[in-house]
C-alpha cells in the first residue's frame, strides 16, 4: 500500500488490511500546503489536536475546540487526493456519553470530509467506540500517553512501565475489540508496544513506541525541526527548518534596512509594456 500511486482515496478498510505488512506512514497536517506534501508520501494525514500547541501556542491540547478542528480539517482536506484524513476529537467532545461522541464525530466528518476520527482512552472508552463504529463512524484508538489526560497522568511521562503495562495492554485490547480500525500507541516501552502489536488484530501506529509497530506517526513540525528548542527523545529531526527560516528572515530584514530589497527586478516601471 502506498499513498503515492493512483488516485483512489484510502479508507479505514485499507489501513486495517495493512496489519503485518509494509509499515503504514502517518504524519500530522494542519494546513493545505503541508497536506499536499504529506499526501505524496503517507497513507494517513492526522489533523491532530496538537494543532493547539503547534500553531496556536496553547500550553496543552485541552483548549482546542471543535471549531478549531473543523477549520484545520477543512484546510487539510483541500490538499489531499489519496491519503486518508483522520481528525482528532478534542477534549470534552466525546467523554460525556456515546450520544455526545456520535453528535460531535458526525459533525467533524460531515464538515471536513475526514475518513475517520481519533479519540483518546482505553477500556473506559470501549463502549463509546463500539457505539460510534456501529453507526458508521470509523474510529482510530489512542492509548498509552494520552495528552488530553496530562493533568491526571502527572505530565507527559512514559506509560506502561512495570505492572502498569497490564493496564495499557488491556486498554489496547479493549479498543480493538470495540471496533477501532487501528490504534495509536504513544510513549510506551518498546517491549510493551511489540507485545500489544502481536496481541491485537488491527494495526498499531507508534509514536515513541517501537519500530515493530504496524506504522509510525510524528508531528510534522517536530520532524522538520520547526521548533529549535523542542527535542523529545522519540522524534528524529529529518531537517532543521527553524534554522533555515531564521537565517532567511534575518537576511530579509537586513536587506530591507539597507534598501537592498526590493531591487530593480522586484519593482514595476512606468512603461505599460514592461513586465
pLDDT value, residue 153: 81
pLDDT value, residue 7: 66
Mean pLDDT over 67-78 rounds to: 98
Query: Which residues are CB-neighbours of 264 under 8 A, at least 6 positions away?
Result: none
Q: For residue 202, which of 164, 172, 240 has the smallest C-alpha distance? A: 172
Q: Is the pLDDT of residue 4 over 90?
A: no
Partners of 45 in beta bridges? 27, 85
Mean pLDDT over 108-115 rounds to: 98
221 is in an annotated binding site: no
Q: Is the pLDDT of residue 250 over 70?
A: yes
Distance CA 238, CA 220 (A): 10
SS3 223: helix
Interior/surface letters 147-170, b for 16+ CB within 10 angstroms, e for the rest: bbebeeeeeeebbbeeeebeebbe
49 is in an annotated binding site: yes
Average pLDDT value over all residues in the chain: 95
Distance CA 173, CA 146 (A): 16
Distance CA 221, CA 188 (A): 22
140 CB neighbour count, 10 Å cutoff: 29
118 is in an annotated binding site: yes
pLDDT value, residue 230: 81
Tell me the catalytic residues. Answer: 186
Q: For residue 80, which of 137, 16, 30 has the smallest C-alpha distance? A: 30
pLDDT value, residue 204: 98
DSSP H or E segment with residue 171: helix 164-178
Higher pLDDT, 156 or 239: 239
pLDDT value, residue 171: 98
Q: Tell me which long-range contacts 236-241 makes (C-beta under 8 A, separation of at least 24).
A: none
Q: What tens digit of pLDDT does each residue of 9-64 get?
A: 999 999 999 999 999 999 999 999 999 999 999 999 999 999 999 999 999 999 99
If pLDDT is split at 50, 70 and 90, which confidence band does 275 have?
A: low
Query: Which residues are CB-neighbours of 252 under 8 A, at least 6 positions away?
Result: 261
pLDDT value, residue 115: 98
For 36, the grid coordinates are: 499536499
Q: What tens digit of pLDDT does each residue of 112-156 get?
A: 999 999 999 999 999 999 999 999 999 999 999 999 998 888 788
Q: What structural domains does the chain harbor?
A: 12-238 (3.20.20.60)
Rama region for 141: left / alpha / beta (φ>0; ψ in -120 to 50; rest)? beta
pLDDT value, residue 134: 98
Q: Is the pLDDT of residue 5 over 60?
A: no
pLDDT value, residue 2: 61
Q: Is the pLDDT of residue 3 over 70?
A: no
Mean pLDDT over 204-220 rounds to: 98
Do residues 156 and 187 lie in contact, with contact meaning Cβ atoms separated by under 8 Å? yes
Full-model pTM: 0.95
Amino acid at each position: 500500500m502506498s499513498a503515492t500511486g493512483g488516485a483512489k482515496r484510502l479508507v479505514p478498510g485499507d489501513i486495517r488490511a495493512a496489519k503485518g505488512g509494509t509499515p503504514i506512514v502517518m504524519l500530522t497536517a494542519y494546513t493545505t500546503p503541508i497536506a499536499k506534501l504529506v499526501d505524496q508520501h503517507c497513507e494517513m494525514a492526522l489533523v491532530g489536536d496538537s494543532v493547539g500547541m503547534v500553531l496556536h501556542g496553547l500550553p496543552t491540547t485541552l483548549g482546542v475546540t471543535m471549531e478549531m478542528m473543523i477549520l484545520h480539517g477543512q484546510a487539510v482536506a483541500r490538499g489531499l487526493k489519496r491519503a486518508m484524513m483522520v481528525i482528532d476529537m478534542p477534549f470534552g467532545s466525546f467523554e460525556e456519553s456515546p450520544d455526545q461522541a456520535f453528535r460531535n464525530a458526525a459533525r467533524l466528518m460531515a464538515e471536513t470530509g475526514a475518513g475517520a476520527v481519533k479519540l483518546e482512552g482505553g477500556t473506559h472508552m470501549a463502549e463509546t467506540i463500539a457505539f460510534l463504529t456501529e453507526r458508521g463512524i470509523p474510529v482510530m484508538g489512542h492509548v498509552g500517553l494520552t495528552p488530553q489526560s496530562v493533568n491526571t497522568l502527572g505530565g507527559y511521562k512514559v506509560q506502561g512501565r512495570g505492572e502498569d503495562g497490564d493496564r495499557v495492554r488491556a486498554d489496547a485490547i479493549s479498543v480493538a475489540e470495540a471496533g477501532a480500525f487501528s490504534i495509536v500507541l504513544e510513549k510506551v516501552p518498546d517491549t510493551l508496544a511489540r507485545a500489544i502489536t502481536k496481541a491485537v488484530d488491527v494495526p498499531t501506529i507508534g509514536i515513541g513506541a517501537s519500530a515493530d509497530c504496524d506504522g509510525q506517526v510524528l508531528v510534522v513540525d517536530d520532524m522538520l525541526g520547526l521548533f529549535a528548542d523542542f527535542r523529545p527523545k522519540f522524534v528524529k529531526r529529518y531537517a532543521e527548518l527553524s534554522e533555515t527560516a531564521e537565517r532567511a528572515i534575518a537576511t530579509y530584514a537586513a536587506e530591507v534596512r539597507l534598501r537592498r530589497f526590493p531591487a530593480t527586478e522586484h519593482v514595476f516601471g512606468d512603461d505599460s509594456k514592461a513586465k
